Chain A
Amino acid sequence: MKGANNYTTNRRNVLRYTAGASTIGLASLAGCIGDADDDEGNGNGNGNGNGNGNGNGVDADELTITLSQFPDTIDPLDHITGDYFDIYDHIYEPLFDFVPGEGIFPRVAEDWEPQDNGTTEVYLREGVSFHNGDTLTAEDVAWTINRTVDPDIGVQSPIGTFGLGSITGADAVDDTTVAINYNASAGLAEFEFGNYARAMNRQWAIDNYDAENEAISGADPEDFNGTGPYQVVDFVSGEEIVVEAFDDYWGDEPPFETVTFNASGESSSRVAALETGEADVTMNILPEDVNTVQEAEGVDIRNITSFRTIFCPMKNTVAPFDSQDFRQAMNYAVDNDAIVNEILSGFGEPTSQPVAPGINGYNPDLEPYEQDIGRAESLVEDSGYGGAEITLTAPQGRYLNDAAIGERVADMIDQLDNVSCEVDIVDFPVVSDANQAGVDPDEFDIPFYMIGWGTITGDTDYGVQGFFTIPDNPARTFDDEELSDAILETQQIDDVEERTAALQDVNAMAREKAPFVFLHTQESIYGAESSLEWEPREDETIYVWEMSR
């Protein structure tokens, strides 16, 4: 009986609470709906009012940047993702200012001097402090570089394998001089350390985080300690990071006192945050969302052609791609203007070579292949591969409207009378694997695929050597001694201008040999609050110190 009584009591209580909650809930709901109806006219007006809100409600000292991905790690060397750099570069500032298309300039490093022995000495500014009050030393910088490039120390950093590919290590010469060692030309090394050299506080990192053995982790503002213009004051893992201007910063006072970084994976959500004034800057807006931003008041679109090119490699160790005529024919078959205008709403630029404008070694004299069906068909006949049946493998969801572009490219090739082309839309790792599989026909199944490449160091070498050089490069996509030798030669040229000219020749040679179907450089599309003075950069980097109101 006791149990039964309890049961009745419990159930009665449940019902009572449920009924009570239901009543309150319905009343609230009714209230909300009523309010919504009552205010409908105002609500529409409020749509316009957003502009007012953005304009008048803006706090000149605060800025919110909504990225597309929030960092899953707090170790600044543990990733090579643009969104991560966009946050951490403000805390762990780069040693140099990299200006796309121009080169590197002094920052924390005041000057640098190549030595004769595969070493460049970098002279650091004096009086640079970490956020915890420690002074920056050459030892800190050397250790940070070694931790980045040496797989035995710290984390297996992709920055080391990508960004600092030719750097072999670093030593502290004295308190403010760091010797950076490399196995290529000084010019190439300069592009690499100019982009990827940062400084962590060695003692702090080792003592508190065992940073020589693992990645730095933590969930508190104190788990960050750089020399940058901003220090972390609030950090909610996976959600938000708030930074404030660092009082003891060696350089100019940054333009905003407080900056909040958060992220949203959905383009439409980022646009909504921009429209409501929750975000002042947001990135990776899809072409289909551009109109929404353009029509909203108080915000606008800022776009720039990025360093990322989209193209279709053709592995020349198998037919029909072993014929240069056939590869060129594929380029003549495709109408890149149509793809850019119709699928990317104009947000892109047809390319003529492996790298984008603004990259050191980009050859401005080269024209993109223009669509010429007659010439394409004739080249196919010349190649002896008339009637060829090929398949283009394209990824979905990795690049701007990638699957649609892949389908269109295949369709354009299929329009040729003497070539039949199908498309296979796959997950990105399939394409990535195809790209890594090398040129031995026994090792790969996919000879023709679509992929993108961001030349993140700002130098042509990074855009070509992985694809075209032969020795010690089992992951190349093209087997051509002449092109390979030309690239290797550029790696040893010390004279900066001579090297740039040689890289331009490499790009011209690549256009002629057509190892890719060259498609376009991808546009970076940002949304920004209108009063914000800021122009986006080709290298997809967002620096608050380049903004103002």
Chain B
Amino acid sequence: MAMRQFLVRRLLQGILVIWGVVTVLFGLRAVSPGDPATLMLGEGANRELVERVREEEGLNEPIYVQYLDYVGGLLQGDLGYSWQSNRDVTAMVIERIPATIELTIAATIVAIVIAIPLGVVSATRRNEPSDYGATLFSLLGISTPNFWLGLMLILVMSVWFGIPYPTMSTATVPVGAVRIPYPSYIGYDFYGFPTGRRGVGFPDAMRALVFDQSASELGAWLRYITLPALTLGTYFTALITRLTRSGMIDELGKPYVTATKAKGLPNPLIRYKHVLRNTMIPIITVLGLQMGTLMGGAVITETVFNWPGLGLRLVDALRIRDWPLMQGIIIFIALAFIVINIVVDALYTKLNPQVSAE
């Protein structure tokens, strides 16, 4: 099937999925407890005002009219207004996207950087202590809940292990703080990790680096993102380690490996140049797919670290039953997931011509 046809088909499927998500969300909102007008105005609000809000917001209309209104708004890019803050939901979603993308990418990098070497070592030293170690690490990574790992990292790396100072360049060094060695050319001393928040965004850090030749913003960014990225990346790390291990084991048993060995190529060359290369295709696919999952799954990590991304906003919206905001965020996550899926599928067929677009 031609790529164009494939893409059109996937796009249509994607639209169908989004429509399903929108409809299910709307249905849930309709059957969920809590009168929207009362939720907007608070417990015990003046009945007259509650009625007026119900009227103005169209909450007295039949449910199908409300549904059509909502879908009609969505088609024009209107996600509605937050019940809590009266702000445009689209703007509230957009302003949180950069933080979530930053965290997702950082977590992915953490996963790649740790998982691939671990997987290779594990596959090439099967049934040796390093293999058991890597397998145990994977098992722990998959079974450790994010909220627990996050809290433990905060406890150890922030509370026990140094006093973080957000404005490192000017702050007095706290007594008793442990200086973690850090390359001196960065011009930035390191005293443990903050317990949460974002501190500085990556674009600002890069702007400071490029225009002011100052690395301190980048240093601050790294300090703030490290623990959340490790937390979010750990589950992913475990997954990729296992995938790399099994992929490598499969490849190592193939005839071309025997042939290269027979040719007298050194083992590291065989492993990293030939075998790992062939193992990478499924890993790249999973990486792509998992990024969508990560965006949705960052909810807990963002909450624990107070990371101002979509996940934290979703939890805040859930706490106060702000349905328009909840819907907006979930629709965006679904959309991101679908787009990433389509892109990965397209890349997959591109990367491996043996796989047809079927």
Contacts and interface: CB of A to CB of B under 8 A. Distances in A.
Given A43-B160, A156-B41, A240 B47 contact: no
A435 B158 contact: no
A269 interface: yes
Given A46-B176, A273-B195, A24 B284 contact: no
A155 B41 CA distance: 11
B143 interface: no
**Most A-side CB within 10 Å, residue of B47, B113, B353:** B113
B35 interface: yes
Residue among A35, A53, A155, A162 with the highest chain B CB neighbour number at 10 A: A53
B117 A22 contact: yes
Given A26-B114, A72-B84, A214-B86, A45 B305 contact: no
Interface stretch (A113-121, A348-356, A426-434, A492-500): A426-434
Interface in A123-173: 151, 155-156, 158, 160-162, 165
Contacts of B177: 46, 49, 53
Interface stretch (A13-21, A179-187, A409-417, A541-549): A13-21
Most buried by A among B33, B312, B319, B351: B33
A457 B342 CA distance: 55
Nearest to A6: B350
Interface stretch (B13-21, B59-67, B162-170): B162-170
Interface stretch (B72-80, B125-133, B272-280): B272-280
B32 A429 contact: yes
B103 interface: no
Nearest to A17: B112
Interface in A22-45: 22-26, 29, 31-32, 35-36, 39, 42-45
A39 B41 contact: no
A19 B272 contact: yes
Contact of A52 (B114, B175, B284, B313): B175
B195 to A, nearest CB: 4
Q: Is the interface of A mostly helix, strand, loop or mixed?
A: helix
A73 B304 contact: no
B183 to A, nearest CB: 10
A272 B195 contact: yes
A391 interface: no
B333 interface: no
B336 interface: no
Interface residues of B, number: 78
A29 B303 contact: no
A49 B175 contact: yes
Interface in A44-61: 44-50, 52-53, 56-57
Contacts of B110: 25
B196 A53 contact: no
Contacts of A268: 151, 154
B164 A21 contact: no
B79 to A, nearest CB: 15
A57 B47 contact: no
A276 B171 CA distance: 15
B136 interface: no
Given A161-B49, A272-B158, A277-B174, A265 B315 contact: yes
A161 B41 contact: yes
Contacts of B87: 72-73, 215, 217
Given A39-B178, A165-B46, A47 B160 contact: yes
A99 interface: no
A239 B47 contact: no
Interface in B181-204: 181, 192, 194-198
A262 interface: yes
Interface in B25-61: 32-35, 38-47, 49, 52-53
Contacts of A404: none
A161 B44 CA distance: 8
Contacts of A266: 303-304, 306
Contacts of A215: 85-87
Contact of B34 (A265, A272, A433): A433
A428 B34 CA distance: 8
A69 interface: yes
B154 A272 contact: yes
B96 to A, nearest CB: 7
Contact of B351 (A11, A18, A21, A426): A11
Contacts of A444: none
B146 interface: no
Most buried by B among A32, A35, A426: A35
Given A15-B280, A19-B272, A69-B316, A278 B160 contact: no
Contact of B159 (A11, A165, A272): A272
Nearest to B305: A269
Contact of A46 (B33, B160, B165, B196): B160
A102 B126 CA distance: 76
Contacts of B112: 18, 21-22, 25
Contacts of B315: 265
B159 A265 contact: no
Interface string A313-325: 0000000000000
B113 A50 contact: no
A466 interface: yes
Interface string A445-488: 00000000000000000000010000001110000000000000
Nearest to B307: A239
Interface in A263-308: 263-266, 268-269, 272-273, 275-278
Nearest to A465: B44
B95 interface: yes
B308 interface: yes
A158 B195 contact: no
B158 A436 contact: no
A161 B312 CA distance: 30
B176 A264 contact: no
A263 B303 CA distance: 11
Q: Which of A12, A263, A273, A433 counts the most chain B CB atoms within 10 A?
A: A273
B155 interface: yes
B321 interface: yes
Contacts of B312: 265
A45 B164 contact: no
B248 interface: no
Top 3 A-B residue pairs of the complex, sorted by shortest distance between their CB atoms: A49-B176, A429-B34, A25-B113
Interface of A: 4, 7, 11-12, 14-15, 18-19, 21-26, 29, 31-32, 35-36, 39, 42-50, 52-53, 56-57, 69, 71-73, 75, 78-80, 151, 155-156, 158, 160-162, 165, 214-215, 217, 219, 237-240, 262-266, 268-269, 272-273, 275-278, 397, 426-430, 432-433, 435-436, 466, 473-475
Given A49-B177, A237-B95, 11 more contacts: A24-B113, A45-B176, A46-B162, A73-B84, A162-B42, A214-B86, A263-B306, A264-B196, A265-B306, A269-B154, A276-B192
7 contacts: A11-B277, A35-B181, A43-B160, A50-B163, A53-B163, A57-B163, A161-B46
